């Protein structure tokens, strides 16, 4: 309940701030995530890297400013990474807070992305109790406006802090000791200004 209240207040603050800024906007966005997670490891040795697979995100954004801007966002993200032995499925709330500049008709931006893990399972077994629920990553990217209402962004995201989970006490079919849940992903996002 605290998470929902926090995000409700963040969304309200963003909406009120957007209305107070000239050249600012508010809208929705959705898109595709092409991600891979960290490695499965056995006794400290690299065992298996994840294959890049897909996912999606949907959310809202606010943009404060025009030529130089701040763009806080709140997304629901669902991804899947494949290993030879099992699939890792993750759902989370992402809160990127991006600072950017508009140059040559393109928006260049970067900033931290707070990630709140909602669910994570490997081979059908939940590992949410073992994982850190709150992590920080970073995003950087470029976007272009497609008319007055649409925008298209291309981003790279990387988890910054370690989020390893022990698999020794779990009942899975994989032969590994630990899994690193940090994501590396390419994100393609379409936004609609409201």
CA distance linking residue 153 with residue 190, whole number of Å:
6
Whether residue 61 has pLDDT greater than 90: yes
Which pLDDT does position 179 carry in this prediction?
Answer: 60
pLDDT above 60 for 2: no
Number of domains the chain contains: 1
Residue 64 has pLDDT above 80, yes or no: yes
Q: Tokens 């669910």 label which residue?
A: 119
Cα–Cα distance, 4 to 10 (Å, whole number): 10
Q: Please check whether residue 11 is in contact with residue 4, taking contact to mean a CB–CB distance below 8 angstroms.
A: no
Cβ contacts of 65 within 8 Å, gap of 6 or more: 21, 23, 24
User: What does the alpha-carbon distance between residue 144 and residue 108 come to, in Å, rounded to a whole number?
Assistant: 9
- Quote the domain boundaries for residue 45: 2-193
Lowest mean pLDDT among 18-22, 72-76, 120-124, 176-180: 18-22
pLDDT at position 129? 57
Tokens coding 21: 């800024």
State in Å, rounded, how far the first CA of the chain is from the last one.
28
Copy the structure tokens of residue 188.
């393609």
Please tell me the distance from the alpha carbon of residue 71 to that of residue 172, in angstroms, as a whole number: 41
Give one word for 119, left, alpha or beta, with left for phi > 0 and alpha for psi -120 to 50. Answer: beta
CATH assignment at residue 73? 2.40.160.20
pLDDT of 137 above 80: yes
Task: Determine the Cα–Cα distance for residues 170 and 180; give it in Å rounded to an integer.
Answer: 15
**pLDDT tens digit sequence for 4-31:** 555 555 554 554 454 445 678 999 999 9
Per this entry, what is the length of the chain?
A: 194
List, in sequence order, every residue forming a beta bridge with 88; answer none if it has no partner: 81, 122
Grade residue 52 by pLDDT with cuts at 50, 70 and 90: low
């Amino acid at each position: 309940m605290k998470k929902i209240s926090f995000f409700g207040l963040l969304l309200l603050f963003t909406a009120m701030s957007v209305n107070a800024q000239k050249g600012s906007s508010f809208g929705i966005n959705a898109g595709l995530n092409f991600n891979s997670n960290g490695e499965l490891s056995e006794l400290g040795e690299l065992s298996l890297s994840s294959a890049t697979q897909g996912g999606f995100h949907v959310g809202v954004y606010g943009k404060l400013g025009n030529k130089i801007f701040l763009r806080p966002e709140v997304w629901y993200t669902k991804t899947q990474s494949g290993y030879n032995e099992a699939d890792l499925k993750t759902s989370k709330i992402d809160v990127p807070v991006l600072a950017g500049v508009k140059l040559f008709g393109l928006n260049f931006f970067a900033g931290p992305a707070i990630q709140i893990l909602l669910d994570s399972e490997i081979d059908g077994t939940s590992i949410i109790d073992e994982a850190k629920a709150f992590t920080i990553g970073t995003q950087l990217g470029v976007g272009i406006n497609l008319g007055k209402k649409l925008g298209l962004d291309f981003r790279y995201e990387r988890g910054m802090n370690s989020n390893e989970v022990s698999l020794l006490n779990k009942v899975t079919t994989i032969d590994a000791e630990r899994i690193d849940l940090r994501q590396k992903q390419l994100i393609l996002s379409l936004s609609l200004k409201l």
